[in-house]
Amino acid sequence: MTRRSDERAPSDVQSEGPEGGALNHRRNVPFWQTSRPLRAMLVSGVGFAALVALVGTASDGVVDPSVALAFCLVIACGELARITLPGNRESAPIALAGAIAYAFLLSVGGDPVQHGVGQVVAVVALGVALGELPHVAVGRTPRVEDAARRVLVALLLAASFRPLAEYLSLTEPSILVTLLMTVLVALAWLVDVAVSAVLRAERLRTRLWVAGRDEARAQFATGVAISSSGVLIALACTVTGLVGLLVFSAPLLVSQVAFRRHAEVRRTYLETVRALSRVTEVGGYVENGHSRRVSRLAHGIACELGLSERELLELEYATLMHDIGQLSLREPIAGGATVLASPREQRRIAELGSAIIRETGVLDNVAELVRRQCEPLAGDGDEGVPPLGSRIIKVANAFDDLVGDSGDAERRTAVLERLRMDTDSEYDPRVVEALAGILNRS
């Protein structure tokens, strides 16, 4: 079976979905060229601040160079060992904890430290840059917005804490100091969540409040672990010296390994679903790339309509397996286009596919989306209107069944108008208009 033009090798696609599932083709452009203005503003603003801090620190001289070097190396190692969490989120727990600790550092082994805000930003930025170099050397495109967020957190904490510590002559740990650090790091976490939500909403073109809720939920556990570790390292170093930097980084390393394993399990699960979705293509029941194209369209539509990250993940599973019921057919449908089959045959395929998915025992919501994907807008019987995910699958599947991998703009427009003509009975008009918005942008 020949490979169609819409397919690429795994190295040619980039994940942007909730689990890295909505595949977007990489463009051969430098990473600094972007159509996302908010991302560009963040990266350029933080980059300028880091450059000013580096130049200022170099001209004024480094205060406590051995301490600065130790924290810089820890941050660099943490950046080198960064992880990718569910939702395609990049995190560097050890690097960020080290940055927080250096911003809060009062003394090392009883000797007060005198570095200012500029040196904190310079050390953190240098450590992040050094940790990124090995990734760049092996051809991995840097996630500059995530690195910029880590430097921004250090900048906010240093700018709020160090002048206050100097004004109040804070040199030793106390309840007041601990409380102040806790409040400031909590506020910095909220700012970081807000920034990441804005970037996510801009990248996925989803609603800001939905992105904010998803980011807060996704980053809460790691945020607590990183923030508490950063505060503990800063307080411990006042007594134990730089040994505290290593001792209190160890628990965070264990947590990072656990987070990494969790992310790998979920990634493996998603890859299994993707492989299963290919069975209908390999068997000749549907066109090559059909499931992935439907998944991309459905993901874009769902983001337009403001679905949460959990709903996006369930929808991705459902779209990848929405045609798996065709495996029960004696004769494949011509071209695999279920939209051209009779309503009775469509329901039979959907129900058989749902039954197969329910056998997993853990994807009941996905099975329900697949089961009701071919129902009319008002639903069948007493069950009422189908779930929004099912209505999205119905529109995305019908569009790809009629368009396929064709790039003909006139054909796409004609199919879109055909879907609009049936919005009073078959298709959800909101879903169809969201699809129109995606097509207009592309």
The 10s digit of each residue's pLDDT in 83-128 is 888 788 889 999 999 999 999 999 998 889 989 999 999 999 999 9
pLDDT of amino acid 50? 97
Q: Which amino acid is at 432?
A: V
Residue 126: which of 177, 26, 37, 58 has the closest Cα?
58
* pLDDT of 7 above 50: no
**Alpha-carbon gap, residue 301 to 437, rounded angstroms:** 9
Could you tell me which residue, 337 or 8, shows the higher pLDDT? 337
CB neighbour list of residue 208: distance below 8 Å, 6 or more residues apart: 197, 198, 201
* Each residue's pLDDT tens digit, 206-237: 899 999 999 999 999 889 989 999 999 999 99
Radius of gyration of the chain (CA): 26
Alpha carbons 44 and 33: distance in angstroms, whole number: 12
Q: Per-residue confidence at 256, pLDDT binned at 50, 70, 90?
A: confident
Average pLDDT over residues 391-415: 89
Other Cβ atoms within 10 Å of 80 Cβ, number? 17
Mean pLDDT calculated for residue range 369-378: 90
Copy the structure tokens of residue 96.
Answer: 């960020």
What integer best gives the mean pLDDT of the chain? 86
**Mutual orientation of helices 309-320 and 250-277 as an angle, nearest 10°?**
30
379 and 386 Cβ atoms separated by less than 8 Å: yes
Which among 397, 387, 386, 405 has a CA at the least distance from the CA of 432?
A: 397
Per-residue pLDDT band at 9 (split at 50, 70, 90): very low
* CA–CA distances in Å: residue 162 to residues 54, 101, 193: 18, 12, 23
HSE value, Cβ hemisphere, 13 Å, CA-based, for 1: 13
Q: What is the pTM of this model?
A: 0.82
* Residues with Cβ within 8 Å of residue 309, at least 6 apart in sequence: 18, 87, 214, 217, 218
**pLDDT tens per residue, range 278-300:** 888 887 788 888 889 999 999 99
Domain ranges of the chain: 11-25+35-262, 278-441
Q: Which class in CATH covers the domain with range 278-441? A: mainly alpha
pLDDT digits (tens, 9 = 90+) for 20-46: 443 343 334 444 444 689 999 999 999
C-alpha of 134 from chain center? 22
Would you state the pLDDT for residue 29? 42
- DSSP summary character for residue 286: S
Measured at the CA of 196, the angle between CA 211 and CA 136, to 5 degrees, comes to 130
Return the higher-pLDDT residue of 201 and 441.
201
Q: What per-residue confidence (pLDDT) applies to 255?
A: 78
